[in-house]
Chain A
C-alpha cells in the first residue's frame, strides 16, 4: 500500500519569505502525487499534481513541487508567500488502486506580516 508522510505539522513563515513543505511517500509501484490546499471550513482544492513527464510541476498561484523518485519525495515550494496562502496543505499519493488517494496528515502553513 502507498502512504505519505508530511514531515512538518506546522510551518510558520513571514510574508514574502520562501517556504518548503515536505512530503515523502512510500510505494513499491508507480505513483501519482498531489498537493491539495484546504482553507478553514472548506473542502480541498487541487493545487498541483504529478502524473508523468517533467518532474517539476507548477500551479497557477506560484507554488511548485518536484518529484524525486530516488528520494521518494514531492516537496512543495513557493519563493515568496502571501498572507492569503495561510491554509492547511495535504500531500496525497495514489497507486495501484486506480481510484483512492492516501493523504498525509497535513501541514498548517501560517503566514504572518
Chain B
C-alpha cells in the first residue's frame, strides 16, 4: 500500500492553457474522489467515481472541468482554458465503497498566471 499518489505536485500554467492532473488511488479502493481547496478554505467536493463509473459530476465547477477514470484504476482531472480563479490545490482521495475511510493524496497545486 503506497497510498494515494498525485502528479504533478505543482503546476504553473498560463491563463487559457489546458492542464491535466493524474491520481493513482490505493489499488484496493473502489471509490475515487476529487476535491478542490483554495487558500483559507476547506476542501470542496468536485466529483467521484465508483470503479470506472462517474456517479456524481454535478458539482464540477464549470463545463471546463472534466474527469475520467478509465478501467477503474487511475483518474485524470482536466481543466480547459484555465482562469486565474482556478488557482488552488486539487486533492484526490480514495476509499472502499463502504464506510468513510478516505485516504487523501498530497495534492496538485495549480497556479494560473
Pair count A-B, CB < 8 A: 58
> What residues of A have a CB within 8 angstroms of the CB of B42 in the complex?
4, 90, 92, 103-106
Q: Is A45 an interface residue (CB 8 A)?
A: yes
Those of B83-113 within 8 Å (CB) of chain A? 91, 93, 99-107, 109
Contact (Cβ within 8 A) A44 B41: no
> What residues of B have a CB within 8 angstroms of the CB of A53 in the complex?
none
Stretch at the interface among B11-19, B43-51, B60-68, B69-77: B43-51
Contact with A along B16-57 (1 / 0, CB 8 A): 000000000000000101000000111111001000000110
Contact (Cβ within 8 A) A101 B102: yes
Q: Is B4 an interface residue (CB 8 A)?
A: yes
Contact (Cβ within 8 A) B104 A105: no
Q: Report how far A103 CA is from B100 CA in the complex, Å.
A: 14
B104 to chain A, nearest CB (A): 4
